[in-house]
Amino acid sequence: MLMSTPKLVALRLYNITLGRFEVCTRLLRKALVWRYVKNMEPGARYSPTSKFFDMSELGAGWRARAARPGNTGESR
């Protein structure tokens, strides 16, 4: 679920009012972990360290090109 302006405003209002109290901050954290980490399909599991570029996304052609001497640090 993407961030929207109303959600962002609501979150910030919570942060600067109830969020001043530690128990409310802890509750918010628990709710966010439940909603965005634990309660997700395994295939869609949120991870900030995912979805970076992978060379395999270019298909097969890049391997041959990458293996050429000038591109592997070997002497030519």
Partner 1 sequence: MPEAHAFAPAGLEALFAAPALATLPRVLGFMDRDPGSPTFGCCDRAYWHYRLTDLPNSRAQEAGLLLALAWAYPGPKSGEDNLFYGQDALPQWVRGVWSHWLASRNADGSTREIYPFERSFCATSFSSAAFVECARLLGADGFERELRQAESTFLWLGSNANPDVANQMAASLHALHGYAALTGDGRIRRLARERGEALRRLTDASGTFVEYGGLDVGYQTITLSSLTSVMALTADEAWLPEAVAKGLAAVEPRIGELGHVDWRGNSRRTQYVYPRALAAHQSPALARLADGLRARTLPTPCWLDDRYTTAFAVDYLLAATELRPCS
Residue 39 within binding range of partner 1, rule CB under 8 A: no
Residue 41 within binding range of partner 1, rule CB under 8 A: no
H-helix segments, the chain? 5-16, 22-33, 61-66
DSSP 67: T
Residue with structure tokens 């439940």?
A: 34
Instruction: Determine which residue in the list 42, 43, 61, 73 makes contact with partner 1, applying CB under 8 A.
Output: 61
Of 12 and 21, the one with the shorter C-beta distance to partner 1 is 12
Min separation Cβ 18 and partner 1, Å: 21
Cα separation, 12 vs 18, whole angstroms? 10
Of 23 and 44, the one with the shorter C-beta distance to partner 1 is 44
Of 23 and 41, the one with the shorter C-beta distance to partner 1 is 41
Strand, helix or coil at 73? coil
